[in-house]
Each structure stands twice: as structure tokens, then as C-alpha cells.
Amino acid sequence: VAFLAAPETILTGSTTVTLDASKARKVSVRTPKETETRQLRYDMARTAPDGTVQRDAYQIPLTYDQLWVSPTKKVKEGAFSFLTRWRQGEELIDVEADGRDVPVHVQGGAAIAEDSRQKLNAVYAGKGAPADYQGLNARGKAVVITRSADATPAERLAAALAAGAKALFVVNDERGVAMESYTPYGEQTTIPVASVQKSAGETLIRAAQRGKKVEIDQKRFADYLYDLVDRHDGTIPDRSLAFAPSTRQLAKVENTFYGHRKTLGGGYRYDIPDYGPGLGFEEYEQFPDVRTEWVNPLPGDSFWYENHSVLNADESDRAHEMRSAELDYRAGKDYRAEWFAPVTRPRLGTGYWGPFRTVNDDLQFNITPWTDAGAGHSGSMPENEYDTTSYAFYQGDTELKKGAGRAGYIGDLAAEKRPYRLVIDSERDAKTWKTSTRTHSEWGFVSGALDEAGPYQADIPLLQLDYAVDTDLAGDVRSGRTTEIGLTSGTQEWLPGAVKANKASLSVSYDDGKHWTKADLRQKRTGEWTAKVRTPSKGATSVSLKAHAEGPGGLVVDQEIIRAFGLK
């Protein structure tokens, strides 16, 4: 693929614009650790002097093995940006033959082991038709064939399976990368299947023809990833466009994903450029897991954003989705992030719009009821929230409205300042979810009419509750031991004039809220509280929490979380 551009042409008469592909420069990436390209995108933005943005972005199919870009002259009016975005990851299949690394590309429907290393004898089976296996012993071996239009992917796979192959490698007979589906959509075969580019495949064919062993490493879920952006502003330079950041030029992120049993999920880190939305595709992930990720800083007002989800039982939709806040990284720094970690509860973040009042004396709210302990996160269960979450809205003790779901609208509010209370109740299936199976939250605040001469709407500050508990990846702490629980409360930290709570209490329960014991909270100079509780050695499988906090101006919050974290 080649991107050719002349980003600025001043028309004062008939003009010829020449786009010369012979002057294009090859774009490439090299990472400190061995990787393969998972996603690749080029992204151009031309901003006119009046602020109008023309954008051309292309998520490049992996059938293309090269990207070339023509250099441009520096623009004099407006702005011009060009970036290349890579998602590089640990190789799904790493193959070595005759002491040489052979890059391969996993095909649709292939089975990839979670973590496997093996040596297999290789055999060459021509074009992979049934006749090519006659007289050939392929059972338990890695089969190498040359791609041909004479046999469909399904036919190649069927012949290899019938011969007892343990792996199938298809050397492309054309230029570029062959990316084909070997099974119907949504189905998976029982062996790894990968294509090999024509030039690299010669090494593999020679090894197979001599019956040599090939080393095959499989890693379905990567232990490390690189999210990289190489951006050029004003011009695309007429020089090498090889991007090879060192480890010191990158931020290191340790991403930890919690889960009490092995679960399939999906997620991605999006780069959000200052001129428009982010682009990319979520990739399969497995929870629980710990993954090291390397990220380069983004310039100006651009930022990174992450989204991760636990999939439902049939892997057709998001069962539990978590969104991050805007993420900014510095080169050479280490960062830690935790996803789906206890304590999950209703908590506002910037991933969704929050509560506000307008000059028309109406109020809207949107409470994300399933937010994990990760800083800045917003969590929801979009598949069935209207079945499992309900709200009620009060002025004093008078109920103004109630309904299903996490979001609502209330009109005709009194102009004078009055106390209000928002109540959210959520529950989820205890057979599927080990922790936070039921929550009850109440927020108290005072609100009055907005100044009609001011902004149309204003955000409503509500006290949030954050809990800190050091659990294992399954969300458990040890029974019969002393456990420290941290508690913090304050209004939305991204709003101007955010305040902290000045009073708090905490109670614990070991029987799903039937009986409560008040914990001894001690406040630190930083405004946080901590309590040390000794969990029962027998007879309990979880710890439930009930918290209360108060702040200035009539702010109050009460929250009850059944099975906040587990005991083991």
C-alpha cells in the first residue's frame, strides 16, 4: 500500500499536481522484543485555516506486507498531520526451521494453543490435495504445502487432517500475505494453520523436503504488546520512516486482569488524535492474566484510551465492560493498571456522561453501576442492565420518579435549593459473578435553579466511594487473617472545585448482609481512612461492605455491597 499526497496546492489558475510513487519512503517498525503486527493504520488530517478537518484514515488489511509514503512539502496555511499506528504483539506462532526464524501468519479458524512449545518432523505435501499425501507419512508431523487455487482452504485442511497432521503451513504462491479462512465463520479446527510468504517459505519447504524438525511455539494470548504511534506534523519528511523506539523512549504498563475463573474477553488501547476519534479493533483477551505493554507518549492534546470487556457465555456480546479515562504516559516511566479488580460498585468516571441539571429545571443522571477498583474507570453490564438495575429519585422523602436501568430524567424541579436523593439498586447472577452480586447506593445532594445568563447545564457533584483491598487475581483474601480495607470519598475528581468527604463509617458482614459489624476507621492526613478487620477462619466465603460518607454542602453517600470480595 502506498499513500501519496500533496497536502497544499494554492490555486491561482490551471495547476498540475504530480504524485510520484517512485519517491515514496517505506514505513517500518522495529520493537525491542520480537513481535508481529496485529493492527496497522495510517492516518492523515488536513486542517484548513478556518478549522475544517479533512481526514483520511485506513486500517490496513494484513494481506499487505508493506506501507510506503511519499514525502511532502511543509504546509504554509492551516495544519497537516500524518501518523502511523501499530499494535505489535508477541507472535501467535513462532516457527524456526534449519536454525532460521520463519515468519508465519495465522489463518482464520486455526487452533492456537495457549502456551505450547514443540518440535515436529516436517513433510512437504505439494499443493495439499489428497493425491499429494499418497505414499507420504504425515501423521503427527508438521505439513508444509504450496498454496494453489486448485484446492480451497477447506480442502487443504481436510486433506491435512485426514493424513493426521499436527500443523499445516501454507506457502503463498503469490506476492504479499495470504489471509484465508479455513473453517466456516465462528468455527475452529483442531490444529494450527498458518501461511508463509513466498520468499520465507522456501526455507520451510527445503526443511520439509528433507524431513527436518521444525520448532513451533504457540502463544494464543500475548504476554507483551506494543502500542506505537509515529506522527509527523506539517510535513512528511524526505528521510527514513523506520520507527525503532528504544525501551527508554517508551512507557511500561503492567496491565493486570482479575477473574475468579478462566474467561474470554476483549479489549484494545485506542490512540485518540487531537483531530478526531480513535480507530481500531478489540482483540481477544483471557482473564485472569498479567500482561506487559509498552506505549509511546502522544503529542499535544492526543491521548490514549482503553476499553476491556468480559464476554458472555456464548461469546456473542459484552457481559461486563470497563472504560478508562484519558491516559497519558511519559517515556521511561512504569505504570500499573488493574481491570475487574474488587471492589466493583456504582462509581462515576469519564467514560460515560454523568449527572447534570439544566436551566430548564430538569435533571438527568447516568450512573455506571459496575465500576471496578481501577483508577478512572467506568463500568457497565450493557447486555442486561435494564433487567438488573433500577433507580428511584427523591426530593426529601417524596419520591419523584422511579424506573428500570441506570439512567433517568426528572423535570419540573423546584427553582429554590432543595435536598435530593438518588437511589440505585443493582444485582447480578451469583452463579456467574463471584463478587459484588448485589449493591444498594444512595447519593444525597442539594440543587437549585441555574443562572439563565450562565451555561445551559451544570454537572452535579456527588460523593464517590473508593475501596482499597489487596486481593489475589480471583478477588480473594485469606480467611482467618487480618485484612486492611482502605476507604476514600470525594466528588468527581475531574470537576472544578472537587471536595473530599470529612466524615465516614464502614461496616463488614460475613453472611451476605444479614448481620453487620462496625469497623474501626482511622483517618490519615491525606484524608483517606483505613480499617483492619480479622476475617473468620471458617464458615464464611466472602466479605460484604457497608459504607457511609458525608461532605460539605449537604453531600452524603451510603453504599452496601454484598460479597465485595471473597475469602479463601
Q: Which of 312, 339, 366 is the last residue of a domain?
A: 339
Q: Which CATH number do you get for residue 155?
A: 3.50.30.30
> For the chain, what is the domain count?
3
Q: Is there a single domain that holds both residue 82 and residue 154?
A: no
- pLDDT tens by residue, the chain, 568 residues: 999 999 999 899 999 999 999 999 999 999 999 999 999 999 999 999 999 999 999 999 999 999 999 999 999 999 999 999 999 999 999 999 999 999 999 999 999 999 999 999 999 999 999 999 999 999 999 999 999 999 999 999 999 999 999 999 999 999 999 999 999 998 999 999 999 999 999 999 999 999 999 999 999 999 999 999 999 999 999 999 999 999 999 999 999 999 999 999 999 999 999 999 999 999 999 999 999 999 999 999 999 999 999 999 989 899 999 999 999 999 999 999 999 999 999 999 999 999 999 999 999 999 999 999 999 999 999 888 889 999 999 999 999 999 999 999 999 999 999 999 999 999 999 999 999 999 999 999 999 999 999 999 999 999 999 999 999 999 999 999 999 999 999 999 999 999 999 999 999 999 999 999 999 999 998 889 999 999 999 999 999 999 999 999 999 999 999 999 999 9
- Residue 16 placed within a domain: no
User: Cell 433487567 identifies what position?
Assistant: 387
Q: Is there a single domain that holds both residue 424 and residue 514?
A: yes
How far is residue 171's CA from residue 174's CA, in Å, rounded to a whole number?
Answer: 9
Q: Is there a single domain that holds both residue 384 and residue 511?
A: yes
Q: Is there a single domain that holds both residue 167 and residue 296?
A: no
Full domain range(s) for residue 183: 93-218
How far is residue 109's CA from residue 405's CA, in Å, rounded to a whole number?
Answer: 38
- Residue 347 placed within a domain: no
Q: Is there a single domain that holds both residue 383 and residue 517?
A: yes
Residue 156's SS3 state is helix
Residue 155's SS3 state is helix
Q: Is there a single domain that holds both residue 307 and residue 430?
A: no
Q: Is there a single domain that holds both residue 402 and residue 540?
A: yes
CB neighbours of 305 closer than 8 A, spacing ≥ 6? 269, 270, 272, 278, 323, 324, 326, 327
- Residue 252 placed within a domain: yes
Q: Is there a single domain that holds both residue 137 and residue 58?
A: no
Q: Is there a single domain that holds both residue 396 and residue 454?
A: yes
61's grid cell: 488489511
- Residue 82 placed within a domain: yes
- Residue 552 placed within a domain: yes
Q: Does residue 127 contact residue 148 with C-beta atoms inside 8 Å?
A: yes
Q: Which of 184, 199, 218 is the last residue of a domain?
A: 218
Q: Is there a single domain that holds both residue 158 and residue 211?
A: yes
Q: Is there a single domain that holds both residue 70 and residue 113?
A: no
Q: Which of 183, 218, 253 is the last residue of a domain?
A: 218
Q: Is there a single domain that holds both residue 535 and residue 387?
A: yes
From residue 55, give the alpha-carbon distance in Å to each of 9, 33, 71, 277. 17, 32, 18, 11
- Residue 349 placed within a domain: no
- Residue 21 placed within a domain: no
